[in-house]
Amino acid sequence: MNKGYTIFISLVVALGGFLLGFDSAVISGAVNGITTYFEMSDWELGFAVGCVIFGAMAGNISAGPLSDRFGRKKILIVTAILFTVSATWSALATGYVEFVVARIIGGVGIGGAILIAPVYIAEIAPPKLRGSLVSLNQLNIVIGISVAYFSNYFLKDIQGESWRWMLGVEAIPAFIYFLALFSVPRSPRWLIQSQNLKKAAEKILVKIGGKDYADLTLSEIERGMDKKERKGTISDLLSHRMRTIMIIALGIAFFQQITGINAIFYYAPTIFEQAGGSTDSSFLQAIVVGLTNLVFTLVAIRLIDKLGRKPLLIIGTGAMAIALSMATFAFYKATYTLTPEAISQVNSEEIRTSITSLQGNTYSSQKDLTNDLKPLLSEAQLQDFKRNEAKKFISINATLVLIAILLYVAAFAISLGPVMWTLLSEIFPGNIKGIAISVVGFFNSLVSYTVTQFFPWELSNLGPTITFAIYAVLAVLALLFVMRYVIETKGKSLEEIEELLFVN
């Protein structure tokens, strides 16, 4: 068994996961820069950040059929090109529309990479190594998120438009990925199943595991092809016997995103600035968020087959509800005081002059403050104040906010983050698994987009207290859903799970 070669192939392909994670998180550091440069409203900002998910949906839908036709390797090469083009174009964009188009292109790469990279690794890896090698892709996603936060921190002080460097630096690992993919072989299973190229597949399998391994794997592939099981269709997902499975799948997919995880990853520095932190401290705290996500993802990988799926989900969603309640409480107890020192730090002279009449006033919420400001400021000035200046007047327990966010991310990383994809791979029958995961993944992306689109508007118009309270309630509902509907699949064969779930 040539374990080193197999690991090398998997690491190269899993670089797609790194790019996926990096692309998802790097925008967090660019939010303030792009908002100012493109003069965005809250809705435009939400769309500019979330539009990448539209691309991911397109990638989800198209990558599977295209990889069946042209091969896993070629589609992965295309995703590397898309990541490179997106990073370069978004960094050079001079208009809002072209910036959005560049982001959507990157989203297509994300949608393709998240689907095809683990499929390729699973097809190339020997059974004894498959679980750990496929998990490299999920681990690399989390590493990519952490590296993006580090990258943003070190690039934030570049003179001029630092956001361009933050977004453009992704082109470097993307181009390396493009070149490295030419060193990996085509999937032997795809070569046989789609191209009937048995000799080419055998050569690759011999290099991976030797002659005996190649012979055994070839016979397994051919035996699988002999089974004439009817392929499932979308209409099958709506059948009575699939009802329990679809409730679990769609429910977990819904709660994984609606509880706000991408709002945290995409807007981490913005949230910490809302808690009164400086730009430096906000970017540093985002790094800590990324590292927490990484550490607890490793914990989840270790515990998922020991504790089980459902216990991790119960612990995680319960802790998420507690964490979000802590953040809600911290912002609820915050006060806003218009001190002379804070007023002097307001960037706009017009706003500074207009609010001087309120000097010395203290408010129990951002909403109360903005209500008093409405007669004094124009609509544009009020929007600018809520987005950029309100944080200068806040008095809040910032440590409690940081602890709450870190607890939330840790809880997500051991539960809804990795467990959802594990459950989806287990609960659907083999003949319908591909189309079912695509449908559920599409729904999951749609919910993710909704959260990302609304979050800037929620912060500006509802305020952080109500925003985090909404997510806390949704986390409680997620906990109740898990306790009521999710079954434990640990230690059960796929056939046992199927018997447990199917409504006869």
- Nearest-angstrom CA–CA distance, 106 and 199: 36
Please tell me the predicted confidence (pLDDT) of residue 409. 93
Q: Kindly state the helix (H) or strand (E) to which residue 394 belongs, with its residue range.
A: strand 394-395
For residues 324 and 260, the answer to whether their CB atoms sit within 8 Å is: yes
Partner residues linked to 335 by β-bridges: 395
DSSP at 386: I
How would you list the strands of the sheet with 335-337, edge to edge? 362-363, 335-337, 394-395
Please tell me the predicted confidence (pLDDT) of residue 459. 80
Q: Is 201 helix (H, G, I), strand (E, B) or coil?
A: helix
Please tell me the predicted confidence (pLDDT) of residue 79. 94
Q: What is the identity of the amino acid at 225?
A: M
CA 15 to mean position of chain CA atoms: 16
Give the tens place of pLDDT for each residue, 411-453: 999 998 888 877 876 777 756 766 777 788 788 888 988 888 8
- Nearest-angstrom CA–CA distance, 194 and 189: 8
Please tell me the predicted confidence (pLDDT) of residue 369. 87
Q: Write down how long the chain is.
A: 504
- Nearest-angstrom CA–CA distance, 10 and 13: 5
The overall average pLDDT reported for the chain is 85
Please list, in sequence order, all residues whose beta carbon lies within 8 angstroms of the beta carbon of residue 65, skipping any fewer than 6 positions away. Answer: none
- Nearest-angstrom CA–CA distance, 191 and 81: 23
Please tell me the predicted confidence (pLDDT) of residue 74. 93
Please list, in sequence order, all residues whose beta carbon lies within 8 angstroms of the beta carbon of residue 382, skipping any fewer than 6 positions away. Answer: 370, 373, 374
Q: What is the DSSP string of 327-386?
A: HHHHHHT-EEE--HHHHHT-S-HHHHHHHGGGTT-EESSHHHHHHHHTTTS-HHHHHHII
Q: What is the identity of the amino acid at 402?
A: L
Give every residue of the chain whose pLDDT is below 70, as ranges. 1, 130-132, 134, 224-233, 274-280, 425, 430-431, 433-434, 491-499, 502-504
pTM above 0.95, yes or no: no
Q: Is 363 helix (H, G, I), strand (E, B) or coil?
A: strand
Over 256-314, what HEC string results? Answer: HHHCCHHHHHHHHHHHHHHCCCCHHHHHHHHHHHHHHHHHHHHHHHHHCCCCCHHHHHH
Span between the terminal Cα atoms of the chain, in Å: 44
Please tell me the predicted confidence (pLDDT) of residue 323. 95
Please list, in sequence order, all residues whose beta carbon lies within 8 angstroms of the beta carbon of residue 94, skipping any fewer than 6 positions away. Answer: none
Within a 10 A sphere around the Cβ of 88, how many other Cβ atoms?
A: 17
- Nearest-angstrom CA–CA distance, 109 and 275: 34
Please tell me the predicted confidence (pLDDT) of residue 88. 96
Give the tens place of pLDDT for each residue, 234-254: 777 777 778 888 898 899 999
Please tell me the predicted confidence (pLDDT) of residue 201. 86
